[in-house]
């Protein structure tokens, strides 16, 4: 018996010692992060002829534990349209109900709150995305196609990408990675070689619908800016001008000679822009003729030509700060000073 046991140990030893250092590190990163990674199920109330109102699965994705209070961070598109949400943890058969605390569609970010806490709750190790370098290793954990807690690895392929988000504006500073990201990975963590969160896996570019080595993650520094506000206020409180901008397709139909700047379509009366005397375009009901109002050319000398650019310029300012607008009207350019307010 003793000889057989020693033989078995001898046979197992090479398999353990044969692991490369990078393999041991990958295993360590996965095991340490695993308790903080969750599956998110999105349920919607539907009417059934025989049963009345029933909850039906609408979608699923991934997420991660943010703090010891039971806040779960995931993508907005994972929870969009849901009435209730179910969270599951690794090696825990229980399903935990959660409620939506707040969401920021423009950054594809949402926060859920557990109604009941598991016995142990391990928050994700939060890092930074400020000093990411192309070529450094990445580790993505999630549930692609429902295959729970899968690990994929890769590198940072690019940084500073501007990608169209679900909220109607581009998400800036996105992290591009070739770590395989598929349906179900959305909302899961992207980690660095220290096992720290550097991004939230969000979308892929693919012609087939599956991973083609072009995955994108919202940088963790953006997540760190958004999540505390969602927890405290349920929404993002940001500064604004109080204007709506004419979409590109309508701009083309108007056949205006103005080629630069953002055409203001509407100005709210008690907004910073309204108090500064700015106006949108108007239409003569009798003739149908459209009269161009103001065109916003720049904010503090930063040129803008779309709602997306206005949004991202103002993102760097705080409520109560003043900015100088360069505006074109009827062939003349003028500058006005406005004080930003919460919108």
What residues are annotated to the active site?
Answer: 77, 108, 186
Tokens at 257, concatenated:
């000679």
The single-letter DSSP state of residue 184 is T
The Cα–Cα gap between 174 and 294 comes to: 33
Residue 171 contacts residue 108 (beta carbons within 8 Å): yes
The single-letter DSSP state of residue 126 is B
SS3 136: coil
| Residue 94: Cβ within 10 Å count | 10
Expressed in angstroms, the distance from the first to the final Cα of the chain is 77
Its sign, for the CA torsion 84, 111, 166, 233, is positive
The Cα–Cα gap between 45 and 83 comes to: 6
Residue at token pair 């980690």: 191
Which of 116, 84, 88 shows the shortest CA–CA distance to 100?
Answer: 84
Tokens at 115, concatenated:
């109604």
| Residue 311: Cβ within 10 Å count | 19
Query: Strands 150-164 and 170-177: what pairing?
Result: antiparallel
Say how far residue 315 (Cα) sits from the centre of its chain: 15
Query: Strands 295-299 and 302-303: what pairing?
Result: antiparallel
SS3 176: strand
């Amino acid at each position: 018996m003793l000889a057989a046991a020693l033989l078995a140990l001898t046979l197992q030893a090479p398999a353990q010692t044969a692991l490369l250092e990078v393999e041991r590190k990958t295993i360590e990163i996965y095991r340490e992060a695993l308790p903080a990674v969750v599956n998110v199920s999105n349920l919607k109330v539907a009417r059934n002829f025989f049963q009345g109102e029933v909850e039906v699965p609408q979608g699923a994705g991934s997420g991660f534990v943010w703090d010891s209070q039971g806040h779960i961070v995931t993508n907005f598109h994972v929870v969009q349209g849901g009435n209730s949400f179910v969270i599951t943890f690794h090696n825990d058969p229980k399903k935990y109900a959660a409620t939506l605390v707040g969401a920021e569609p423009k950054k594809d970010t949402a926060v859920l709150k557990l109604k009941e806490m598991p016995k142990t709750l391990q928050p994700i190790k939060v890092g930074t995305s400020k000093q990411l370098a192309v070529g450094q290793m990445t580790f993505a954990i999630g549930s692609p196609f429902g295959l729970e807690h899968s690990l994929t690895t890769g590198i940072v392929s690019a940084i500073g990408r501007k990608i169209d988000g679900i909220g109607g504006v581009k998400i800036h500073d996105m992290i591009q990675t070739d770590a395989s990201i598929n349906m179900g990975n959305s909302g899961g963590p992207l980690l660095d070689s220290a096992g720290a969160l550097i991004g939230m896996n969000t979308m892929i570019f693919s012609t087939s619908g599956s991973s083609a080595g072009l995955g994108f993650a919202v940088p963790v520094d953006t997540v760190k800016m958004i999540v505390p506000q969602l927890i405290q206020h349920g929404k993002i409180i940001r500064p604004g001008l109080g204007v709506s901008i004419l979409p590109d397709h309508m701009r083309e139909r108007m056949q205006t000679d103005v080629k630069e700047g953002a055409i203001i379509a509407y100005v709210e009366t008690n907004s910073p822009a309204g108090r500064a005397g700015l106006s949108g375009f108007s239409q003569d009901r009798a003739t149908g003729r459209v009269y161009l109002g103001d065109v916003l050319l720049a904010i503090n000398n930063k040129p803008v030509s779309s709602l997306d650019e206005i949004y991202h310029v103002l993102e760097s300012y705080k409520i109560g700060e003043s900015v100088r607008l360069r505006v074109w009207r009827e062939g003349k350019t003028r500058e006005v000073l406005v004080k930003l307010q919460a919108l």
